């Protein structure tokens, strides 16, 4: 049945830009069509529209900012001159997109985003290549996930290609904010919020998509710095049948206290374990990879948790798996999406078979891990004392950056 829910959500991605939100409307629908499809009645008169890039209007700022010295950038604090916004209503679908000066949102205090967390987002980056062209990295993956997140909380879905076209235009318009140096980029934050201003708990009849942009520097300006993790066993981030695999606001606020608990004991991030088996799932807001030598055969294995509904479908995770299959498998590596317990990880460490551990996400690409505090044990993750990264994390970062910055021409890189 869970698969059924996912499949239905998937169907929403194929173009429907509207669905009835009141129960009475749904009751009139055949069970097989449900709320994801456009109602025949509505379609015959005024079909709600999908996002239409040709209707874009641009209003440029009268007071352009001076881009900050790149070395002074802090993640997500400085924003560019403009923002991309697209309103949606249940009746009309997606309205004309606008790029306008960066400005506050003015919302009724009863707006559903403040009360019921009708909000989802994406994190992606625009890079400047050696020719000065602006490139997005795998934006199709972000838009696919964005649609899945939206559908899961009854927000409207949209055409991924239309959204990518608009985001590309927006990124190009802000290109003077993208530093021309390796490691620098423009972080893009597409966000979708419910804007209905009534307190009844139901599907929002209106929504707003907005994209803001923040110039960012390298996560590790002076080279890798390995982090230490605390395994969290007293709180649970995600569970089967829940929404932990979607990029919803709802998944983030509840993570802060465990993160602060870990920080209070001197750990940069917490590691989420799941269930009595203590499966290793994610670290803070990143996916996790382990490189382990097989006990019997000595074969090297790169392991990450499978997409069982409790793991965020990271774009970096997917890129690492792809690259590993392309470049590490021929070297004899086994590439596995499988469950692994904290106990097994600990055993591999004690045996000297744990080669390296690293987090993976858009912000840092990879984030090497030195040790994990688990119960009363400190699990060593295989780095030498003077090492800040293992070999695989390092190679992955280089391979991914080569495609992000267009040094290697690849279909993952989308020229704006």
Could you say whether residue 83 binds a copy of itself (CB under 8 A)?
yes
The helix (run of H) or strand (run of E) holding residue 367 is strand 365-374
Minimum distance, C-beta of residue 157 to a copy of itself, in the bound complex (Å): 13
CA proximity to 148, closest of 326, 318, 14: 14
Comparison of 37 and 413: residue with beta carbon closer to a copy of itself: 37
Q: Are 339 and 275 within 8 A, CB to CB?
A: no
Bridge partner residues of 269 (DSSP): 229
290-324 in b/e form (b: 16+ CB < 10 A) is bbbbeeeeeebbbbbbeebbbbbbbbbbbbbbebb
Tell which one of 7, 109, 132, 385 touches a copy of itself (CB under 8 A). 109
Q: What span, in angstroms and rounded, lies between the C-alpha atoms of 16 and 351?
A: 54
Tell which one of 43, 58, 105, 329 touches a copy of itself (CB under 8 A). 105
Tell which one of 69, 72, 264, 330 touches a copy of itself (CB under 8 A). 264
- Tell me the window of 59-67, 167-175, 221-229, 264-272 that interacts with a copy of itself (CB under 8 A): 264-272
What is the distance, to the nearest Å, from the Cα of residue 166 to the centroid of all Cα atoms in its chain? 19
168 contact partners, CB below 8 Å, separation of at least 6: 134, 136, 139, 414, 416
Comparison of 250 and 348: residue with beta carbon closer to a copy of itself: 250
At residue 350, φ and ψ (nearest 5 deg) are -60, -35
Could you say whether residue 221 binds a copy of itself (CB under 8 A)?
no
Q: Are 103 and 382 within 8 A, CB to CB?
A: no
Minimum distance, C-beta of residue 214 to a copy of itself, in the bound complex (Å): 6
Q: What is the pattern of x (binds a copy of itself, CB under 8 A) and - over residues 293-332?
A: ----------------------------------------
Q: Are 414 and 401 within 8 A, CB to CB?
A: no
Comparison of 262 and 335: residue with beta carbon closer to a copy of itself: 262
Q: What span, in angstroms and rounded, lies between the C-alpha atoms of 218 and 75?
A: 9
State both tokens at 371: 């040790």
Residues 14-43 that bind a copy of itself (CB under 8 A): 21, 23, 26-27, 29, 31, 34-35
Residues 182-201 that bind a copy of itself (CB under 8 A): 187, 189, 191, 193-194, 198-201
Q: What is the pattern of x (binds a copy of itself, CB under 8 A) and - over residues 268-287?
A: x---------------xx--
71 contact partners, CB below 8 Å, separation of at least 6: 217, 221
Could you say whether residue 233 binds a copy of itself (CB under 8 A)?
yes
Could you say whether residue 79 binds a copy of itself (CB under 8 A)?
yes
Comparison of 151 and 324: residue with beta carbon closer to a copy of itself: 151
Comparison of 211 and 354: residue with beta carbon closer to a copy of itself: 211
Q: Are 192 and 204 within 8 A, CB to CB?
A: no
Could you say whether residue 384 binds a copy of itself (CB under 8 A)?
no
**C-alpha to C-alpha distances, 197 to 106, 108, 203, 286, nearest whole angstrom:** 12, 6, 12, 34
What letter would DSSP give residue 292? E
Comparison of 101 and 352: residue with beta carbon closer to a copy of itself: 101
Minimum distance, C-beta of residue 401 to a copy of itself, in the bound complex (Å): 22
Q: What span, in angstroms and rounded, lies between the C-alpha atoms of 12 and 28?
A: 19
- Tell me the window of 93-101, 171-179, 241-249, 288-296 that interacts with a copy of itself (CB under 8 A): 241-249
Tell which one of 152, 300, 370, 371 touches a copy of itself (CB under 8 A). 152
Could you say whether residue 250 binds a copy of itself (CB under 8 A)?
yes
Could you say whether residue 203 binds a copy of itself (CB under 8 A)?
yes
Minimum distance, C-beta of residue 229 to a copy of itself, in the bound complex (Å): 14
Could you say whether residue 353 binds a copy of itself (CB under 8 A)?
no
Tell which one of 240, 350, 352, 391 touches a copy of itself (CB under 8 A). 240
Q: What span, in angstroms and rounded, lies between the C-alpha atoms of 374 and 230?
A: 6
- Tell me the window of 68-76, 298-306, 323-331, 397-405 that interacts with a copy of itself (CB under 8 A): 68-76
């Amino acid at each position: 049945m869970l698969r059924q829910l996912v499949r239905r959500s998937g169907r929403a991605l194929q173009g429907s830009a509207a669905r009835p939100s009141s129960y009475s409307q749904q009751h009139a629908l055949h069970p097989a069509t449900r709320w994801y499809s456009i109602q025949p009645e509505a379609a015959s008169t005024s079909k709600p529209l999908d996002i239409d890039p040709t209707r874009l209007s641009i209003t440029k700022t009268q007071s352009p900012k001076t881009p900050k010295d790149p070395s002074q950038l802090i993640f997500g604090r400085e924003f560019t001159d403009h923002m991309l916004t697209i309103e949606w209503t249940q009746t009309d679908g997606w309205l004309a997109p606008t790029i306008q000066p960066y400005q506050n949102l003015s919302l009724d205090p009863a707006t559903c985003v403040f009360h019921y967390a009708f909000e989802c987002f994406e994190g992606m980056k625009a890079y400047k290549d050696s020719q000065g062209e602006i490139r997005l990295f795998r934006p199709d993956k972000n838009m696919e996930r964005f649609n899945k997140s939206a559908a899961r909380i009854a927000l409207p879905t949209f055409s991924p290609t239309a959204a990518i076209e608009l985001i590309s235009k927006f990124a190009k318009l802000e290109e003077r904010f993208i530093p021309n140096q390796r490691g620098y980029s423009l972080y893009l934050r597409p966000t979708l919020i419910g804007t209905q201003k009534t307190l009844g708990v139901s599907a929002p009849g209106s929504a707003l998509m907005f994209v803001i942009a923040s110039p960012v520097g390298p996560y590790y300006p002076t080279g890798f710095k390995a982090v230490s993790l605390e395994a969290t066993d007293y709180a649970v981030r995600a569970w089967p049948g829940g929404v932990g695999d979607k990029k919803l606001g709802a998944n983030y606020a509840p993570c802060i206290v465990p993160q602060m608990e870990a920080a209070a004991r001197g750990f940069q991030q917490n590691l989420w374990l799941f269930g009595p088996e203590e499966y290793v799932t994610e670290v803070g807001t990143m996916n996790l990879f382990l490189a382990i030598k097989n006990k019997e055969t000595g074969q090297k294995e790169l392991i990450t948790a499978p997409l069982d509904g409790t793991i965020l479908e990271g774009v970096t995770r997917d890129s690492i798996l792809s690259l590993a299959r392309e470049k590490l498998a021929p070297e004899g590596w086994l590439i596995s999406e499988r469950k692994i317990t904290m106990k097994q990880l600990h055993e591999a460490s004690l045996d000297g078979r744990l080669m390296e551990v690293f987090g993976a996400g858009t912000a840092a690409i990879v984030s090497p891990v030195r040790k994990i505090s688990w119960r009363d044990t400190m699990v060593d993750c295989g780095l030498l004392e003077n090492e800040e990264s293992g070999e695989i994390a390092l190679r992955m970062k280089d391979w991914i950056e080569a495609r992000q910055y267009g040094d290697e021409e690849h279909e993952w890189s989308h020229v704006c």
